[in-house]
Structures are given as C-alpha cells and as structure tokens.
Amino acid sequence: MSAAKDLILPGATLGVMGGGQLGRMFVHAAQSMGYRTAVLDADATSPAGLVSHEHIRTPYLDDAGLAELARVSAAITTEFENVPAAALDQLAATRPVAPAGSAVAVCQDRAREKAHFVGCGVDCAPHALIETPEQLAAITDDLLPGILKTARLGYDGKGQVRVKTRAELEAAWADLKHVPCVLEKMLPLAYEVSVIVARGRDGQVVHFPLQQNLHRDGILAVTQVPAPNVTAAVSQQAYQFAHQIATSLNYVGVLCIEFFVLTDGRIVANEMAPRPHNSGHHTIDACDVSQFELQVRAMTGLPLVEPVLHSPCVMLNLLGDLWFPVVNGQRVAEQREPDWAAVLALSGTHLHLYGKTEARVARKMGHLTITGDTPEAARATALKAAAILGIEPF
C-alpha cells in the first residue's frame, strides 16, 4: 500500500484499538503533538475513550465499529495485546496498521512467542507445549519444578500455576480446563529486566535504557532506571536480543521484551508485549521522548530518535489495594483516596491516574514516577512516597 510510505502529519486522526491506560497515555502523546484520536473500546468509561476526540463503542470484532475506525483514522495502532489479530488484519486492508496483526499474533501465544525467540537465537526457559494428554505424559522431570502457563490470554500472573510434582502438574492442567498450556522450568532469578524498542517502517530500531522490574504476586510493582544490579555486558546482550527480535518480526511500533537475569548471570527472554509497556511509564517523566511518543512517530513515519534518560527514576505502580488501606490489622471496606497531597509535597514526584472510578484490589489505577538527581536520591524519595501510600519497601 503506497499510503503506508507517506508521512502522516499532525492534524490527522490516529486510531487505537483498546481503551485502557496504555491507550490513554498514547492519546495524550498523540494529542500533544497535534493529532486527533479515535479509540475503539466497548466500555463507555474506558480510560482512553474518556480523553479521546472520538470513541467508538463496539466490541473489537464488530464490523461496523472497525469500518468506522478505519474511516476516521489515517493510521491505527493497538494498546491491548489480546485484540484479535483478525481485527487488525481487517483494518490493514484499508489503513496502515502498526504493529501488524501477524506480529501481534506471535506475542499472543506463548508457544509461538518462545519458538520465535529460539528462531532468532535468543535463549528462553526450557519449556514444553501441553495440548494433549500424550504431551502431558511425555513431560520429562527436568522441567519440574515448573510453572504451567496458559498459552493464550494470561496477564499479571493470571492463568499460571506453580507445580512441583507430576501430580500437581496434572491437577493444575485440569484446573486450567485442559486449555493449551506451556510448562516452563522454574529458573533461579537474580532479577528481572525489560527492554523497550521502537522500530520504524524503514527498519530503524531505537531502544530505551534497560529497566529493572520488581514483581509482586505476578504484577509489576516497581521499575528502576538505571537498573541498579545490571552490568554493562548484560544490558548490551539484552539490547542486542531486543533488536534481533523486533527486526525478525518485521515489527513497526513499540515493543517490550521482558528478560530474566539468572543467578549464574545468564539472560533469557521471558515474554514480549506488542505495545508500550507498564515498565516504560517512567519514560514520560524521565526521558526526552516517551514510549508513547515513539509509538506515534513509528506509526506515522516520523523520525525515531535514540531516547535519552535525563533523570534517574523509580516508578511505583498504584494498585487498587492502596484505596483499601489496612487499619488496625484490617482492610477497610469503603474505598478511600490515598493521600496524594502528602506524596506530591515530595519533590520529583509525578502522579498519573488513569481515571478509573472504581478501585479494586490488584487493579492498575495509576502510577507514580519519582525522578531525582541521582539514582540514590530518586530511590530515597520513592521509599518515602511508598511509606505514605502503604506500598512495601523495595
């Protein structure tokens, strides 16, 4: 399609599939650069729908909704990993879509994702696909203890069961209703990191400085940049892997790859997300260009630049739990607003809330980025903010 080669300039409308917080921050970035936006999401109060010029309220596979999104948009992206690849393919018949449905489809399926890592020379955890009782029976003991993960639709640690024995594995697969799964060997993690890259239509790849991530209960809790524990050799290896993965997918847009650094220093790929990522939210306040702006640039054909971290930072995820503090050993029943004024009295704090009115335990409500002159200063302020909010120290 020749239109895909043309620059899409400010004033045009950019479409996004999905109305969550990633879509909201994408919309903010696009609008600040002078674009109009259109969001497709069935939820009338979706975080991105609330701030977009246009909000098409239909399911992802609704023909009329997709036709309307294509009609109003000059180019389309996605903010939600599980948007059906078929919907992206349908849009791509008439409009440039970045990333392409084919790349998103690889990321949606853990088995395909791992095959892709291996295919481009990137190590991942030893694993096996379990789709049939025969495959279950053929599992060798060296994959135990392991983690059984559904091949599709897992996020924030959902759809995962840790298993120590063959009996536990069988029970776990039954609990997961025998859907296709991947069993991964449990690895000794030293720490977790991620790399966010952006790749343009011309094949140029740029990356953000590597992030170090702390997960709690399977959900990202804290991101620190620069990564405190990472050697230059490990980061170089991670950047090289990330570039290889993006290029071999012929990817256009922002892509995040999560890695494990093992206790013996080896680095293995965990999974990837075909979109901006929670571990890159600090880029809004701590880098000279954000992951959301790079998504805009990549999809419109504008130049990419190598992002620079101008401030060491810490990002704290604000989960719904914080709206239900524990008082005298008991979680309060009525939702109450955290003490933002106390947090914002600390210099270097940048509050982002996603406009979700109902807080729920484990729901991502917002994030707080803390910048400082040095990593130590950012961390010290972040620990104060965490104490005010009731987030465990890190």
Candidates 163, 147, 364, 176; CA nearest to 260 is: 147
Q: Are strands 181-185 and 127-130 parallel, antiparallel or unpaired?
A: antiparallel
Closest approach of ligand ATP to the CB of residue 234, in Å: 17
DSSP-derived letter for residue 393 is P
**Contact assessment for residue 7 and residue 69, using Cβ atoms and an 8 Å cutoff:** no
Q: How many residues bind to ligand ATP according to rule CB under 6 A?
A: 19
Scanning 153-161, 168-176, 204-212, 371-379 for contacts with ligand ATP by CB under 6 A, the matching segment is 153-161
**Binding residue (CB under 6 A) for ligand ATP from 187, 193, 284, 315:** 187
Candidates 383, 243, 388; CA nearest to 306 is: 243
From CA 289, how far away is CA 65, in angstroms rounded?
A: 32
**Binding residue (CB under 6 A) for ligand ATP from 156, 168, 170, 339:** 156
From CA 305, how far away is CA 297, in angstroms rounded?
A: 9
Residue 79 sits in the site that holds ligand ATP (CB under 6 A):
no
**Contact assessment for residue 164 and residue 185, using Cβ atoms and an 8 Å cutoff:** no
Q: Between 205 and 224, how does the x/- string for binding to ligand ATP read (CB under 6 A)? A: ----------x--x------
Closest approach of ligand ATP to the CB of residue 156, in Å: 4
* Cβ atoms < 10 Å from Cβ of 229: 11
Residue 192 sits in the site that holds ligand ATP (CB under 6 A):
yes
Residue 184 sits in the site that holds ligand ATP (CB under 6 A):
yes
Candidates 316, 101, 312; CA nearest to 220 is: 316
CA 101, 102, 107, 109 dihedral sign is positive
Residue 286 sits in the site that holds ligand ATP (CB under 6 A):
no
φ/ψ of 286, rounded to 5, equals -115, -5
From CA 382, how far away is CA 349, in angstroms rounded?
A: 8
φ/ψ of 79, rounded to 5, equals -115, -5
Residue with Cβ nearer ligand ATP (125 or 389): 125
Give the residue ranges of DSSP H helices in the chain: 21-32, 63-72, 85-92, 101-107, 110-119, 133-137, 166-175, 232-248, 283-286, 291-300, 340-344, 375-389
Residue 384 sits in the site that holds ligand ATP (CB under 6 A):
no
Closest approach of ligand ATP to the CB of residue 334, in Å: 29
Residue 270 sits in the site that holds ligand ATP (CB under 6 A):
yes
Residue with Cβ nearer ligand ATP (65 or 274): 274
**Binding residue (CB under 6 A) for ligand ATP from 1, 118, 189, 308:** 189
Near ligand ATP in 102-141, by CB under 6 A: 125
**Binding residue (CB under 6 A) for ligand ATP from 12, 50, 186, 388:** 186
* Cβ atoms < 10 Å from Cβ of 120: 15
Residue 394 sits in the site that holds ligand ATP (CB under 6 A):
no
Closest approach of ligand ATP to the CB of residue 332, in Å: 27
Residue with Cβ nearer ligand ATP (185 or 201): 185
Tokens 């702006």 correspond to 293
Closest approach of ligand ATP to the CB of residue 356, in Å: 17
Q: Between 287 and 326, how does the x/- string for binding to ligand ATP read (CB under 6 A)? A: ----------------------------------------
**Binding residue (CB under 6 A) for ligand ATP from 79, 113, 271, 321:** 271
Closest approach of ligand ATP to the CB of residue 74, in Å: 30
CA 376, 391, 193, 276 dihedral sign is negative
Binding footprint of ligand ATP on the chain (CB under 6 A):
125, 147, 149, 154-158, 160, 184, 186-187, 189, 192, 215, 218, 258, 270-271
